[in-house]
Amino acid sequence: MTAGTGTVPQDQPEDWPSFRRIIWTALRVVSSVAVLVAVYYVVPLDRSSMGSAIAMLLTGLVGFVVLVAVQVTSVLRSRYPWLRAVEALAVSVPFFVLLFAAAYVAMAAQSPGSFGRRLSHTNGIYFAVSVFSTVGFGDFTARTEAAQLAVTGQMLSDLAVFGLAIKVIVNAARQGRRRKNTMATAVREGEAKDRPRPD
């Protein structure tokens, strides 16, 4: 704020993103999630082998870690770190849930006894979201040891997502905000030094 006037200098970075930027971010999130869901439904998961299902899950988890790392870097560098953090979470969480849903569908296709019956792609999402949200209606249950291990893996990973990934992204948003404020302060101080002093 400028002393005595109570106005924000025009060259100071905005504190809040414009409505247009918020809409653009929302469209990016919706399109990213739509692409993830479309890929999930297109991939023939019911024809995968148990080995490929496990490999897909492990590869996907590594991909998730890489995605979070890229998102954190993006949040730190963003002009609007909080908006970018919301976008990062809105894309990362569906990716994580769809990853386990795909593993469940593939496992049920190879061994129908894993969950009591074969899972469709939609059933897979439903079950993965039930585990993620800890609701567990009981209509789908892990019955074999392999399925129980996979569900246990998701539950432990859920804790990591809530406890670690979200914390890392939120902390990155805070640091990005702090960096932005520090830069704005430095710009204002530099301008104050450059102003001619009255004789």
Greater confidence (196 vs 154) lies with 154
What is the mean pLDDT of the segment spanning 141-150?
A: 88
What is the mean pLDDT of the segment spanning 122-135?
A: 91
Q: Return the percentage of the chain with pLDDT > 70, whole number.
A: 83
pLDDT class of 178 with cuts at 50, 70, 90: confident
Q: What pLDDT sits at residue 28?
A: 94
User: Does the structure show a pLDDT above 50 at 20?
Assistant: yes
Residue-by-residue DSSP string for 62-82 = HHHHHHHHHHHHHHHH-SSHH
Those residues with Cβ within 8 angstroms of residue 12's Cβ, 6 or more apart along the chain or in another chain: 184, 187, 188
What is the mean pLDDT of the segment spanning 94-101?
A: 94
Instruction: Kindly state the tokens that stand for 66.
Output: 């890489």
Q: Return the percentage of the chain with pLDDT > 90, whole number.
A: 28
63 touches 98 (CB < 8 A)? no
User: Does the structure show a pLDDT above 60 at 128?
Assistant: yes
pLDDT class of 83 with cuts at 50, 70, 90: confident
What is the pTM for the complete model shown?
0.74
User: Does the structure show a pLDDT above 90 at 100?
Assistant: yes
pLDDT class of 25 with cuts at 50, 70, 90: very high
Q: What pLDDT sits at residue 22?
A: 92
CATH number of 46-184: 1.10.287.70
124 touches 135 (CB < 8 A)? no
Q: What pLDDT sits at residue 191?
A: 65
Q: What residue ranges do the domains of the chain occupy? A: 46-184
